[in-house]
Amino acid sequence: MKIASKTVSAVSLVKEALEKAKKYAEYNVFVSLNEEEALKKAEEIDARIAKGENVGRLAGVPYALKDNFLSEEGNTTASSKILEPFHAPITSTAVSKIEAEGAIMIGRTNLDSFAHGSSTENSYFGPTLNSHDKTRVAGGSSGGSAVAVALDIVEFATGTDTGGSIRQPASFNGVYGLKPTYGTISRYGVVAMASSTDVVGFFTKTPDDMNLLMSIAAGQDSKDMTTLPDFYDEEPKTIKRIGVIKDFDNDAVDQDIRDALAHKVELLKSKGYEIVELEMPTLKYALAVYYIVVPAEVSSNLSRHDGIRYGYRSEDAKSLGEVYGKSRNEGFMPENKRRIMIGNFVLSSGFYDAYYLKAQKARTKIIEEYNKAFEKCDCILTPVSPNPAFHLGEKVNDPVAMYLEDVMSVPINLAGVPSLAVPAGETADGLSLGLQIVGPRRSDKTLIEFSKELEEANE
Ligand code: GLN
């Protein structure tokens, strides 16, 4: 990262980023720009540098904020109508930490409304376009953040990953995207999707930038009781054995992606790594488990949006019931409503045992399967999604086809383990391809270090 030194001023970095954001307006990357505040902060940083003050490790570095992080700069909309007028009274811990090091937020990025989706087409503000092909999706839900980094508008962007929302858009746009171990970075002040799988992470252009951001953002937070005691800066482990999941090597996965994986495996072999074939038969249930557990948590987390406490309230409501009903009906996108319906169904007294309880048991089996796999190998190299970026409109009206996009990303969230999406070349038509490196809990830094090996192998 070009950290503000005496040769580059923070003001010029921020101006450049804002100009690029405007130049690429047609991609619909940003829900809002933070022009005035960003320039003011940049001037302050330059003044402090001139005085010789210590301005932090990210001083003057422009970044983009996924629009589901609360901060007092701008409205936090979660790309929804219901939160469009919502100005947060607090700032999330993740934002406080990176801004304490001098990073400057230049805009809030588009996402699938409330992070429900895999393409950013479910946004109330319209879809974000893919950085490599404007007729295709950016991926989702953090599509805006991935494209902001891929188009080189900013040095890094924040994301959240509940079932793939950092890794899949990262791989659709050829950048790095980390889904950390569950509990590594505080979720305080982040719009909740599914509390048991939500994590905060980043998009960057290099592994070193990712490492720097993680060591700044990770750590226990008294405002989020699920955060782990600080572990991120522990010495990384050496990776020797790479697992490859046999169950994913089939026709359901695009040939380009299987070739990219095979290519990396050959290169790793030639570098002396041991390749371990894994059978992980329980992973095929992960998608079904995810689409029970996550909507259950979604329906509960979204119940707070009642037209009274937050954001939008329907104007033609004539009774309290209508305030709730109409505000929610007009304020949520169809996909939000679908998840609320599914969640309420699987939690209802008649179906709880058959769906929710059974899914939780299957989730335990998935966790056990990863534990067993990590006895045989140090990390797993696997695709992020079954295909490269698809066309706009191709899947948005077919929820099951859209959910199938997540088949390889959701098991990782259910198990709470870390995974780093890395660029892995391009298709013949120039679409970016990605792979993910999955490791045991707390191996985040190890994965980032190891990704440098793959990067060399890329050349
Ligand atoms: N695509 C997944 C979903 O729709 C994941 C979303 C996310 O990680 N926020 O649930």
pLDDT in tens, 71-103: 999 999 999 999 999 999 999 999 999 999 999
Residue 197 class from Cβ within 10 Å (0-12 exposed, 13-18 middle, 19+ buried)? buried
Please write the tens of the pLDDT for every residue from 408-459.
999 999 999 999 999 999 999 999 999 999 999 999 999 999 999 998 544 4
Q: Average of pLDDT values for 226-233?
A: 97
390, pLDDT greater than 80: yes
pLDDT in tens, 114-159: 999 999 999 999 999 999 999 999 999 999 999 999 999 999 999 9
* Cα angle, residue 236 at apex, residues 230 and 242 outer, rounded to 5°: 125
Q: What is the pLDDT of residues 351-377, one digit of tens each?
A: 999 999 999 999 999 999 999 999 999
Distance 338 CA to ligand 1 centre (A): 13
Ligand 1 atom, smallest distance to 140 CA:
1
Per residue in 324-336, pLDDT (tens digit) is 999 999 999 999 9
Global pTM value: 0.97
User: What does the DSSP assignment read for 279-335?
Assistant: --GGGGGHHHHHHHHHHHHHHHHGGG-SSSSSS---TT--SHHHHHHHHHHHHS-HH
Tell me phi and psi for residue 209, to 5 degrees.
-60, -40
Distance (Å, rounded) from C-alpha 42 to C-alpha 143? 26
pLDDT of 6 = 55
CA of 263 to the centre of ligand 1 (A): 28
Please provide the distance, in angstroms rounded to a whole number, between the alpha carbons at the two ends of the chain.
Answer: 22
Distance, CA of 400 to CA of 378 (rounded, Å): 33
pLDDT digits 0-9 by tens, 174-213: 999 999 999 999 999 999 999 999 999 999 999 999 999 9
- For residue 310, the model assigns a pLDDT of 85
Would you state the pLDDT for residue 459?
A: 47
Please report the atom of ligand 1 found closest to the CA of residue 161.
8
Give the position, in ligand 1's atom list, of the atom nearest the Cα of 162.
8
C-alpha torsion 268→270→274→278, nearest 10: 60
Average pLDDT of the chain is: 96
CB 113 within 8 A of CB 76: no
Phi, psi of 205 (to 5 degrees): -95, -15
Pocket test for ligand 1, best of 294, 333, 395, 407 (most atoms within 8 A of CB): 294
* Beta carbons of 277 and 262 less than 8 angstroms apart: no
Q: Using a pLDDT cut of 70, give the percent of the chain over it.
A: 98
The set of catalytic residues is: 66, 141, 165
Could you read off the pLDDT of 410-419 as tens digits, one per residue? Answer: 999 999 999 9
User: Amino acid identity of 51?
Assistant: K
Question: Which residues' Cβ are closer than 6 Å to ligand 1?
Answer: 115-118, 141, 160-165, 193, 294, 406
- The residue among 421, 379, 194, 192 whose CA lies nearest residue 293 is 194
Neighbours of 267 (CB within 10 A): 16
- At 3-33, the pLDDT tens digits run 445 579 999 999 999 999 999 999 999 999 9
Sign of the Cα pseudo-torsion (194, 189, 117, 131, in order): negative
Rounded to the nearest angstrom, the distance between the alpha carbon of 182 and the centre of ligand 1 is 15
Q: Give pLDDT, residue 247.
A: 83
**Atom 3 in ligand 1: residue holding the nearest Cα:** 117
Q: What are phi and psi of 190, to 5 degrees?
A: -115, 135
